[in-house]
């Protein structure tokens, strides 16, 4: 039966203490952060800050202690992420390992893989990237063509990935590859965890309009991978990666990427009555998205698989993140000095250029709405 539900959630008793812990860490480190970098900060890397969070027990929070984790409540982790993103903290170095790769290894990985990678991830020192999109495939993951040919000792990987966030600093890539050619599109796919320093891997930067280097192309040329690199079951990659994407699509990063700009608007222009009406509108939308996102987080914490809810959060959240700079640019009008060095002007200029891409990462609107339609029994 199709299902979609948003339920109330219980805030952990530790919420206030956790928020204060994060705010103290931010206050101790933020003097060196650039104002514009606080927007979309989960793409901004600061290895030193990631290590600090690892030392404070704020990476790998819900993982078992035997792998370096801390066995905290998933909603406690959500609160920490929300505080970090609201502050514009540079969490990009460890972000994917903490959000996706580690949890996927806990669910599908071998004991050897967990022991090798998870402790370093929990310390904020081992970074990962996700090899999904390809030229000619984009968000159509079933169109993956990167191949892994089985050998006596493992696999030979050939192909190309594109739009891979953080590949230039990652220690490992979790790649979706085709291990059984000639099968149905969603069959014959597997996941391999490959060290990025393996011979035959080439990373080339993709620099965006704002001059930022977040994305990359990755080329695999006769890359020899051991049999132990297989994550989960051979041929089960489609099921595994769709479960992984539910973790990616529903978090606070899906509505807080433009939050720094909102804060600067309040700080610099909040006394203007016209601006206040836009502040009220954006606040109401933000509150609604937050409730939906936290409800989805609670479902994940309960072991449910909220694919439809996660897709809705991402779709609505991306629309909100893209609407924030547009609405603020409109209300400031032509009299605003957009070329000034103020935090508001610099961040607005950045987001006007980069926000259109927010609805591409993690699945385009078209893909998400297809998931939602199928989940609701509409197609």
Rounded Cα gap, residues 72 and 294, in angstroms: 16
Q: 228 and 144, same structural domain?
A: yes
Q: 107 and 40, same structural domain?
A: yes
Structural domain includes residue 9: no
Rounded Cα gap, residues 353 and 329, in angstroms: 12
Token pair for residue 283? 């606040």
Q: Are 253 and 81 in contact (CB under 8 A)?
A: yes
Q: 312 and 265, same structural domain?
A: yes
Structural domain includes residue 4: no
Q: 146 and 181, same structural domain?
A: yes
Q: Please report the pLDDT score of residue 170 as a whole number.
A: 98
Confidence of residue 1 (pLDDT cuts 50, 70, 90): very low
Q: Please report the pLDDT score of residue 138 as a whole number.
A: 64
What digits encode the pLDDT tens for the residues 45-99? Answer: 999 999 999 999 999 999 999 999 999 999 999 999 999 999 999 999 999 999 9
Place of tokens 């700079």: 325
Q: HEC string of 271-334? A: CCHHHHHHHHHHHHHHHHHHHHHHHHHHHHHCCCCCHHHHHHHHHHHHHHHHHHHHHHHHHHCC
Bridge partners (DSSP) of residue 192 are 175, 230
Token pair for residue 148? 């892994």
- What phi-psi label fits residue 2: left (phi over 0), alpha (psi between -120 and 50 degrees) or beta? beta
pLDDT (average), residues 103-113: 96
Structural domain includes residue 39: yes
Q: Classify the C-alpha dihedral 225-175-211-123 as positive or negative.
A: negative
Confidence of residue 332 (pLDDT cuts 50, 70, 90): very high
Q: 285 and 229, same structural domain?
A: no
Q: 168 and 57, same structural domain?
A: no
Q: Identify the domain containing residue 165 by its residue range.
A: 130-236
φ/ψ (deg, to 5) at 352 = -60, -35
* pTM over the 0.85 mark: yes
Question: Which of 164-178, 243-257, 291-305 has the least mean pLDDT?
Answer: 243-257
Instruction: Residue 215: give its domain's CATH number.
Output: 2.40.110.10
Q: 121 and 37, same structural domain?
A: yes
What digits encode the pLDDT tens for the residues 200-213? Answer: 999 999 998 888 89
Confidence of residue 140 (pLDDT cuts 50, 70, 90): confident
Structural domain includes residue 5: no
Rounded Cα gap, residues 245 and 270, in angstroms: 37
Rounded Cα gap, residues 321 and 318, in angstroms: 5
Q: 369 and 265, same structural domain?
A: yes
Number of domains the chain is built from: 3
| 98 secondary structure, DSSP code | I
pLDDT (average), residues 320-328: 95
Name the 3-class secondary structure at 106: helix
Instruction: Residue 359: give its domain's CATH number.
Output: 1.20.140.10
Q: Which of 86, 103, 126 is the last residue of a domain?
A: 126
Q: 265 and 367, same structural domain?
A: yes
Q: Which of 177, 208, 236 is the last residue of a domain?
A: 236
Rounded Cα gap, residues 232 and 192, in angstroms: 9
95 CB contacts (<8 Å, ≥6 apart)? 42, 43, 166
Q: Which of 236, 260, 281 is the last residue of a domain?
A: 236
Rounded Cα gap, residues 184 and 45, in angstroms: 39
Token pair for residue 77? 């982790």
Question: Cα–Cα distances in Å, from 17 out to 13, 23, 161?
Answer: 9, 10, 42
Structural domain includes residue 1: no
What digits encode the pLDDT tens for the residues 152-205? Answer: 999 999 999 999 999 999 999 999 999 998 667 778 999 999 999 999 999 999
Structural domain includes residue 245: no
Instruction: Residue 47: give its domain's CATH number.
Output: 1.10.540.10
Structural domain includes residue 241: no
**Exposure of 24 by Cβ count < 10 A (0-12 exposed, 13-18 middle, 19+ buried)?**
exposed
Closest to 344 in 3D by CA, of 358, 317, 330, 325:
325
Structural domain includes residue 244: no
pLDDT over 80 (residue 277)? yes
Question: Cα–Cα distances in Å, from 341 out to 32, 281, 335, 338, 363?
Answer: 17, 27, 15, 8, 34
Q: 118 and 134, same structural domain?
A: no
pLDDT over 80 (residue 250)? no
Q: 256 and 371, same structural domain?
A: yes
Q: 208 and 278, same structural domain?
A: no
pLDDT (average), residues 225-248: 87
Q: At what angle do helices 307-332 and 365-375 cross, to 10 degrees?
A: 140
Please state the separation of Cα 283 from the chain's center in Å: 23
């Amino acid at each position: 039966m199709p299902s979609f539900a948003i339920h109330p959630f219980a805030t952990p008793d530790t919420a206030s203490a956790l928020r204060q812990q994060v705010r103290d860490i931010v206050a101790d480190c933020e003097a060196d952060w650039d104002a514009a970098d606080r927007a979309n900060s989960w793409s901004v890397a600061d290895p030193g800050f990631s290590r600090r969070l690892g030392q404070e027990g704020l990476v790998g929070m819900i993982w078992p202690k035997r792998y370096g984790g801390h066995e905290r409540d998933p909603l406690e982790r959500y609160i920490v992420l929300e505080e970090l993103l609201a502050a514009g903290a540079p969490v990009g170095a460890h972000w994917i390992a903490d959000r996706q790769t580690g949890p996927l290894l806990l669910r599908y990985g071998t004991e050897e893989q967990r022991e090798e990678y998870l402790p370093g991830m929990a310390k904020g020192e081992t970074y990962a990237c996700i090899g999904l999109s390809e030229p000619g495939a984009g968000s159509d993951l079933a169109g993956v063509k990167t191949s892994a040919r089985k050998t006596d000792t493992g696999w030979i990987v050939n192909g190309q990935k594109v739009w891979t966030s953080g590949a230039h600093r990652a220690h490992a890539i979790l790649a979706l590859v085709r291990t059984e050619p000639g099968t149905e599109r969603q069959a014959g796919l597997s996941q391999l965890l490959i060290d990025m320093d393996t011979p035959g891997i080439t990373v080339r930067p993709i620099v965006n309009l704002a001059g930022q280097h977040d994305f990359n192309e990755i080329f695999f040329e006769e890359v020899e991978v051991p049999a132990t690199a297989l994550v989960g079951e051979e041929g089960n990659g489609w099921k595994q990666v769709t479960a992984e994407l539910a973790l990616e699509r529903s978090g606070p990063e899906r509505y807080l990427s433009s939050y720094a700009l909102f804060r600067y608007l309040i700080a610099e222009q909040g006394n203007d009555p016209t601006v206040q009406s836009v502040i009220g509108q954006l606040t109401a939308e933000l509150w609604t998205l937050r409730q939906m996102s936290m409800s989805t987080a609670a479902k994940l914490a309960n072991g449910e698989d909220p694919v439809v809810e996660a897709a809705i959060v991402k779709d609505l959240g991306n629309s909100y993140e893209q609407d924030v700079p547009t609405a603020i640019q409109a209300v400031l009008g032509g009299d605003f000095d957009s070329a000034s060095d103020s935090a508001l002007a610099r961040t607005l200029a950045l987001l006007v250029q980069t926000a259109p891409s927010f609805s591409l990462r993690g699945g385009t609107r078209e893909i998400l709405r297809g998931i939602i339609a199928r989940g609701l029994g509409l197609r």
